[in-house]
A and B are shown apart, each in its own frame.
Chain A
Amino acid sequence: MRDVSIIGIGQVAVGEHWDKSLRELGYLALSAAMRDAKVERIDSLFVGNMLAGELTGQEHIGAMIADFAGLRGVEAVKVEAACGSGAASLRMGYITVAGGMSDIVACVGVEKMTDRPNDTVTSALAMAADNDYEALHGLSFVSINALLMRRYMHEHGYRKEDFAPFAINAHANAVNNPYAMFHHPITSRQFAESKMIADPVSLLDSSPIADGAACVILAPTAIAREFTEKPVRIRASTIATDSVAVHDRRDPLFLEGGAISAQKAYAMAGVGPGDIDLFEVHDAFTIMSALSLEAAGFAARGKGVALAAEGQINLGGRIPITTMGGLKARGHPVGATGMYQIVEVATQLRGEAGHNQVPSAHLGMAQNIGGSGATVVTTIMEGN
Chain B
Amino acid sequence: MEVARYWRTTGQRYQLIGEVCHNCGKKIFPPRDVCPECDKEAKTPYAFTGKGEVYSYSTIHSAPEGFEKYVPYTVALIRLEEGPLITAQLTDVEAKDVRIGMPVEMVTRVLREDGERGMLVYGYKFRPSLLGLQSADLHPVESAV
B97 within 8 A of A: no
Among B59, B112, B123, find the residue whose CB has the most chain A CB atoms closer than 10 A.
B59
B133 within 8 A of A: no
CB contact under 8 A between A247 and B60, given known A136-B121, A137-B111, A252-B77: no
Partner of A147, one of B30, B62, B66, B77: B77
Whether the pair A137, B75 counts as a contact (CB closer than 8 A) is yes
Tell me the A182-230 residues at the B interface (CB within 8 Å): 196-201
List, in ascending order, chain B residues with CB within 8 A of A148's CB: 56
In the bound complex, how far is the Cα of B111 from the Cα of A201, in angstroms? Answer: 23
- Sample of 24 A–B contacts (CB below 8 Å): A123-B66, A132-B9, A135-B64, A137-B75, A137-B88, A137-B89, A138-B60, A138-B63, A138-B64, A138-B67, A138-B89, A138-B111, A139-B64, A147-B58, A150-B56, A150-B58, A151-B55, A151-B56, A151-B100, A197-B61, A197-B62, A247-B87, A252-B55, A252-B77
A120 within 8 A of B: yes
B46 within 8 A of A: no
Whether the pair B85, A136 counts as a contact (CB closer than 8 A) is no
Whether the pair B57, A147 counts as a contact (CB closer than 8 A) is yes
Whether the pair A123, B36 counts as a contact (CB closer than 8 A) is no
B73 within 8 A of A: yes
Closest to A146 in B: B58
Closest to B76 in A: A147
List, in ascending order, chain A residues with CB within 8 A of B64's CB: 119, 122-123, 126, 135, 138-140
Q: Which B residues are within 8 Å of any A CB, using their own CB?
A: 1, 9, 30, 32, 36, 55-68, 70, 73, 75-77, 84-89, 95, 100, 111-112, 121, 123
Closest to A152 in B: B56
Whether the pair A245, B87 counts as a contact (CB closer than 8 A) is yes
Partner of B85, one of A135, A137, A252: A252
Whether the pair B123, A136 counts as a contact (CB closer than 8 A) is yes
In the bound complex, how far is the Cα of B56 from the Cα of A135, in angstroms? Answer: 17
Closest to B84 in A: A247
Whether the pair A118, B62 counts as a contact (CB closer than 8 A) is yes
List, in ascending order, chain B residues with CB within 8 A of A200's CB: 58
List, in ascending order, chain B residues with CB within 8 A of A151's CB: 55-56, 77, 100
List, in ascending order, chain B residues with CB within 8 A of A130's CB: 87
